[in-house]
Amino acid sequence: MAEPVAGRVIVVGTGHGGVQTGNALRRAGWTGSITVVGAEPHLPYQRPPLSKSCAEVESLDELARFHPAAHYATIGVDLELGQQVVAIDREAAHVELLSGRRLAYDHLVLALGSKPRPVPVAGSGLAGVHTLRTLDDARRLAGHLRTARSVVLVGGGFIGLELATVAARVGADVTVVEVAPRLLHGAVTPVTGTFLAQRHTAAGVRLRLGESVDRILGGDAGVRGVVTARGEELPADLVVLGVGAVPNC
């Protein structure tokens, strides 16, 4: 194995890829500086617990966090949190932050992750319509979930189904609208998709498969319903759009 090379590594992104890059470099014997830059102010965290445990908002930070702050100090990884990278100067070998600061690098790793795929339907900007990607998204969603009576999940993927389970558990009336003919289409086998459909139906979740959303209806207090492409109106005071993700470029 080649001798470890010293130098300055900057990792942009505090998700799985970014955090594990820093950990792996130290395990491999990297002796240079490692700086992980993230736009969010929170200690790096994993995203799967956000949809599984969003009702447990009081402990969500701890449930989702990769490591306590002391871990990064112990292994010698510097965190630049709440700092968005807005430009890369490859000739000068530095990144520029939104604050105007510049960080020089010898090696640059882009671990940018993804963001929710937009849903281009009327009403998607109404109060009470959510997406779930960040810890702050989960906190806002949890606050609304406490009082929601009717919840519509647009998308029958992992996020939609996990949130459907959470919403049904807290007593809300729940409907999942999925454009594909079965749940998790393309992600799991038909047998697994059928099993999950049966489990959700048994828990009181209504499934609208092979159906899409035409528009989202609003009222004085925000969202009040979802209209499907077939014209069915589904009451809702909470709507979550979970139709996949697109890369942060």
Report the pLDDT value the prediction gives residue 63, as an integer from 0 to 100: 87
Report the pLDDT value the prediction gives residue 55, as an integer from 0 to 100: 78
First to last CA, the chain: 34
Mean pLDDT by 10 residues, the chain (249 residues): 74 97 96 97 95 82 93 98 97 96 97 94 96 94 92 96 94 97 94 96 97 94 95 97 93
Report the pLDDT value the prediction gives residue 62, as an integer from 0 to 100: 86
Exposed / middle / buried, residue 84 (Cβ in 10 Å: 0-12, 13-18, 19+)? middle
Q: Mark whether 150 and 201 lie in a shared domain.
A: yes
Q: Look at residues 62, 97, 112 and tell me which one is the last residue of a structural domain.
A: 112
Q: Mark whether 106 and 142 lie in a shared domain.
A: no
In sequence order, which ranges of 28-112 are alpha helices (DSSP H)? Answer: 48-52, 60-64, 69-75
- Cβ within 8 Å of residue 52, ≥6 positions away: 162, 166
CB count in 10 Å sphere of residue 191: 8
Q: Mark whether 12 and 74 lie in a shared domain.
A: yes
Q: Mark whether 79 and 128 lie in a shared domain.
A: no
Q: Strands of 77-81's sheet, edge to edge?
A: 77-81, 33-38, 8-12, 107-110
- CATH no. for residue 97? 3.50.50.60
Report the pLDDT value the prediction gives residue 4, as an integer from 0 to 100: 55
Q: Mark whether 68 and 124 lie in a shared domain.
A: no
Structural domain including 52 reads 8-112
The two three-digit tokens of residue 193, written as one number? 């998709």
Q: Mark whether 136 and 228 lie in a shared domain.
A: yes
Q: Mark whether 123 and 195 lie in a shared domain.
A: yes
Whole-prediction pTM? 0.90
